[in-house]
Amino acid sequence: MPEGIYQLLYLNPHSRFHVSMKVSYPNEFDRRHAAADGRTRLGGDIFIHGDAVSIGCIAVGDTAIEELYTLVEDTGVRNVRVIIAPNDMRNGRAEIAPDGPRWIGELYRDIANALAAYPARLEHQ
């Protein structure tokens, strides 16, 4: 699954997985670092969609995708930014594996900075 900051490309009301939204993976960051690493097969066709099954996409269930889809439709696809992160970096840092790619720190800083614009929700005690 990709990690990073993406745009939505379009909404698909006729998806096999209820409704879906196409994510702009791979983005420029992904392509640049893949080229530096010598990777050529980045994949693609990443969607956020309904249902509970996925192979590489982000399945959020039918109720959640209906809410998200409606919000995006009302907001406008071009006005939406999608942040895909390994965890909520507003509540702590992502763990970086010692054998991870050398650029992962840059990616996680970018994600953390993007998430900083949104206050973290307080958990009920």
Q: What is the pLDDT of residues 95-116, one digit of tens each?
A: 888 898 999 999 999 999 999 9
**Using 50, 70 and 90 to split pLDDT, how confident is the model at 123?**
low
Report the candidate in 36, 28, 20, 35 with the shortest Cα–Cα distance to residue 2. Answer: 28
Can you spell out the DSSP letters for 23-60? E--S-HHHHHHHHHHT--------EEESSS--SSSEE-
Is-catalytic flag, 57?
Answer: yes
Catalytic residue among 14, 18, 49, 124: 49
Q: Taking the complete model, does pTM exceed 0.75, yes or no?
A: yes
Please provide the size of the chain in residues.
125
Report the candidate in 69, 49, 65 with the shortest Cα–Cα distance to residue 57. Answer: 49
| Distance of alpha carbon 27 from alpha carbon 5, whole angstroms | 8
Residue 125 scores a pLDDT above 50 = no
Structural domain boundaries in the chain: 4-84
Catalytic residue among 18, 33, 57, 124: 57
